[in-house]
Structure 1
Amino acid sequence: MKIILFIITLLFSLVFGSCSSEPTLQKYFVENTENKDFIALDISSNILDVDKTKLTVVQKEALQSFEKINVLAFKLNDKNKSQFEAERAKVNLILKDPKYQQLMKFNSGKQGASVTYVGTDDHINEFVFFANKNDAGFAVVRVLGKDMNPTHIMNMISVLKESKIDLEQLKPLQELIKK
């Protein structure tokens, strides 16, 4: 009987102990998707309408490494200034986690931006672009993929130039920009 009780206790501690309460961008996105102050947008790789026969080998590799983009934008207004500060602080705290390696950071006092990634230099699984402006709000963009690298990102830019982007998927973001 003691062995069964020990096994049950061990299983409970493993199940509930392994659930991390640490904030992550994934959790942050899920928690705020339905929040009225945020605009959430998922952009799949099929947004790029591109003739794959015209792509170079490296462009094809870059395209294959790309899976999707998640966008979460907070639109600042007169009523949510304190919430803006709190939400921006949450994102900054998440991005201070050592798993997010910083590539670049820009800050001018009223606006700022950073680019971080998750993974190793040659096997990046996620690029994160975080931009904020004190009088407009902020946006977090997650570019998700498999085994991406900085060269893939540069090659994806050339693929974007040759693609016919399906703008229908971007309508929510266009509405945010208009306001």
Structure 2
Amino acid sequence: MKKLLFSLVLMSFIACEKEPSLQKYFVEKTESTDFISVDMSPSILNIKPDALSIEQQEALKTFKKMNVLAFKINEENKAKFDGERTKVKEILKDEKYQELMKFGSGKEGASIYFVGKDDAIEEFVLYGSKDENGFAVVRILGDKMNPEDFMTLLSALQKSDIDMEQLKPLEGIFK
């Protein structure tokens, strides 16, 4: 009986591991020449704490890191573009990704999703696609973030001195 129970638990664990996720997608595509991958820590923002309000400082504390994965379209990979874009959209259809906002229409535009509860968000996901350029997925990982923190963090970006050298690989994705 114990062996049967152990086998069932092991099989369910393995089955769960095969479900697609953005994290797995990022890991799989990081080494592909069709993709550009950049990982960033909060230090990239280069914000002086005294330039921020208390609210902005608190929101910044919830931000842990950001992962960017971009598919830059060119003549060699044009055929792969729709397939990869469809894979990302399918992952984002999972119920754990809750849509917060959507911009644009059809195959072009952008969406913002979150993972977690309204008052304890683990991850914000920004997805944008443009037929001529490609698509990008940005994962903003944090600790107990909420939508207000996200908006506050965006306002704090105006006071940042972002190290553009770290973003150079993404140059030209969405012009």
**TM superposition score normalised by structure 1:** 0.87
Instruction: Tell me the equivalent position of 1:162.
Output: 159
Distance 1:12 1:169, change over 3 A: farther
Post-superposition offset of 1:161: 1.6
For structure 1, which runs of at least 5 residues remain unmatched after alignment? 1-5
Instruction: Tell me the equivalent position of 2:9.
Output: 14
The equivalent position to 1:106 in structure 2, one of 103, 111, 117, is 103
Residue 141 of structure 2 corresponds to residue 144 of structure 1: yes
Instruction: Point out the structure with max Rg over C-alpha.
Output: 1
On the 8 A contact 2:62/2:142 being kept in 1, the answer is yes
Instruction: Tell me the equivalent position of 2:55.
Output: 58
The equivalent position to 2:113 in structure 1, one of 110, 113, 116, is 116
RMSD of aligned alpha carbons: 2.0
After TM superposition, list the pairs within 5 Å mapping 1:9-88 onto structure 2: 9-19=4-14, 20=16, 21-88=18-85
Percent of aligned pairs with the same amino acid: 53
Q: Distance in 2 between matches of 1:117 and 1:62?
A: 16
**TM superposition score normalised by structure 2:** 0.89
Deviation string, structure 1 residues 83-126 (Cα, Å, up to 9, x no partner): 11110110010000011111122333451211111112121111
